[in-house]
Amino acid sequence: MKNIKITQLPNGIKIISEKINYVNSFSLGFWFNVGSRDETPENSGICHFLEHMFFKGTKKRSARKIAEDIESLGGYLNAFTSKEHTCFYGRGLNRHLEKTFEVLADMVQNSVFNSKEIEKESKVVIDELYDIEDSPEELIFDKFESNVFAGNSLGMPIIGTEKNLRSFKQKDLFNFVKENYTADRFFIVASGNIEHNDLIKYAKKYVAKKFKLENNKKRDLVITPTTDLYVEKDTQQVHYILGKPTYGIKEKKRNAVSVLSHILGEGSSSRMFQKIREEHGIGYQINTFVNSFFDISTFGVYLSTNDKSVHKAEDLIFEELEKIKKKKVGQIELSRAKEYLIGSMLMSLESTTNRMLRLAQSVIYFGKIKSVEETVKDIQAVSPEEIRNLSNEIFENGTLTRVILSSKNLLLQKVA
């Protein structure tokens, strides 16, 4: 990995880069290892709200000027907030790297969080919250995680609550940034036709703010038994999730969980898609999912169907779970799942943005660059015996939790 370099500046900020000679562009991300998991019920939603507010003006740029300075060069800026990270990133032609770097540096250091802008943006984010409430296929995942992670910050939705969004003040934003956006949680990551030494030079030139050196807060996690949850919503369809917590990104078994998920419900050739949609025609959307964090993941089955078919579909889901618990997966099916995962990963890496994301997550989660070859090797090492053992562990009777979102309560029977 000669084309990948990592430098830690004296102030603790890490710079990670990957040089790709055959492209004319770059993706540059300013990452903070801070997300909704680092919030409390009293400030839930503040990370996502800050993501919006960093675009609303600095000491020398208006919100419009931030956008124009990048878009006039043919590039663009964006950002996202997850439960564990916040990332501000830009794309552009390689000759515009310095300008993009300077604008991002200005945003994360010099945003003013104007009170009038806070008031306006709170209304925008509340509208976003309402959009989620109006999207049952999105809302049910928030409800599922709030259920299985009850009592933990991981269970709080990234967008927060309407009450909090209406209450945030300028001082709340400045205080949260000061305490949480620390040098040890700050990563500058780039992929594309760029030079590592240029990133170091720009960091020394444009990152002048004295960030607090460390944030020693620990991300505690205590999992307690949960019960089934019914969410009343006036919908035409029934939305259904069956699942539980399992291995996080730091665990080697996480790769086997991904393979298992693909065999069961990812893609049109998966067992559940074939059984429920193709054979029985009782569900338009049927898939498994793995939503991963550093120390834990959620694994589950998502289904949308009508109220007359939901329990039939549930019976079929349990049939498939029992089958994979009792009978080893054949080599052909296992190889197909592995090739799908490897192929999806490799094709995604044709994007400089995805390569930038992978670099950042690798360093944040593992403290090093985990090579593509290493990941492929880990996936290829998953055996039929491991899949069966994992299935019996994850799908142990009585350990799975249901969440049903519908216009009437369909929790008519206890999960086996």
Question: Which residue in 120, 139, 121 sits closest to 130, CA to CA?
Answer: 139
DSSP state, 228? Answer: -
Contacts with 136 (C-beta within 8 Å, 6 or more apart), sequence order: 233, 235, 237, 239, 304, 405
Q: Residue 173 — left, alpha, or beta (φ > 0 → left; ψ -120 to 50 → alpha)?
A: alpha
Residue 214 burial by Cβ neighbours in a 10 Å radius (0-12, 13-18, 19+) = exposed
Q: How far apart are CA 401 and CA 225, in angstroms?
A: 9
User: Collapsing DSSP states into helix, strand and coil, what is residue 167?
Assistant: helix
Intra-chain end-to-end CA distance of the chain, in Å: 48
51 catalytic, yes or no?
yes
Q: One of 51, 121, 266, 320 is an active-site residue; which one?
A: 51
Single-letter residue type at 171: K
Q: What are phi and psi of 252, to 5 degrees?
A: -65, -30
- Residues marked active site are found at 51
